[in-house]
Each structure stands twice: as C-alpha cells, then as structure tokens.
Amino acid sequence: MEYHNAEKSFVKTNRESHGYIAVRDCFRCKQKCFDKELKRAKRSFEWTKVFNLEITNTENPTEFWHTISQMGPKKKSKIPWEVLLNDGSVSIDKNVVLDKWRT
C-alpha cells in the first residue's frame, strides 16, 4: 500500500514543483522495496512448489506426473469457428464451417 500511495503522489506532482525531487526519491525507494519483496515472494513460491513436488515424487508418483503435466505448456484448440461465405457474410454454424473446410 505504501508503494501505491508513493506512486500516486509521484504521478500527481508537477516537475517544476518544489518537492518533486523528494517525492521522486521516495517513490524510487518504495519501488525498490516493492521489487525486493516481490522477488522474495516469487522465490519462496517457487521453492515451495519444488519442495512439494519432491515430496509428491517420493510418496505418490501418479500425482507427481499429474502435477508435472499441469505445469507444462497447455494444448489449446485454436480452431476458428467462423468462415467467410461467398456472399461476403460470416457464418459461425459448425456444419457450414466444416463443409467449407472440407471443400
């Protein structure tokens, strides 16, 4: 919350105003602290995830492989279900789209 307030006051402060440098320095300090905390939280989260994965590997191999498969890239069907007809209109009817693809 401190970072948010410092950022708001920094954005609102005019560059020509008397306290601009002090507000900027305060914002940079809060930004640096925020970044440190974010990195620390990310490392902690990743460490916890790896630790739990190691425990799962020894106790339940099936769950381990299930977790591994969830962590990897996901297969998504990105098939566009719309087609431009000869008359210039767009159809989203599944049968019409499949017929157009077949021809």
Give residue limits of the domains in the chain. Answer: 2-72, 76-103
What the block records as the tokens of 45 is 């989260």
* Cα–Cα dist 8/42, whole Å: 25
Strands (E), the chain: 83-84, 90-91
Instruction: Tell me which amino acid residue 9 is.
Output: S
What the block records as the tokens of 47 is 């460490």
Q: What pLDDT, on the 0 to 100 scale, is given for residue 14?
A: 79
pTM exceeding the 0.85 threshold for the entire prediction: no
28 or 5: which carries more pLDDT confidence?
Answer: 28
* Cα–Cα dist 52/55, whole Å: 5
Neighbours of 59 (CB within 10 A): 9
35 or 12: which carries more pLDDT confidence?
Answer: 35
49 pLDDT exceeds 80?
Answer: yes
Q: What pLDDT, on the 0 to 100 scale, is given for residue 43?
A: 96
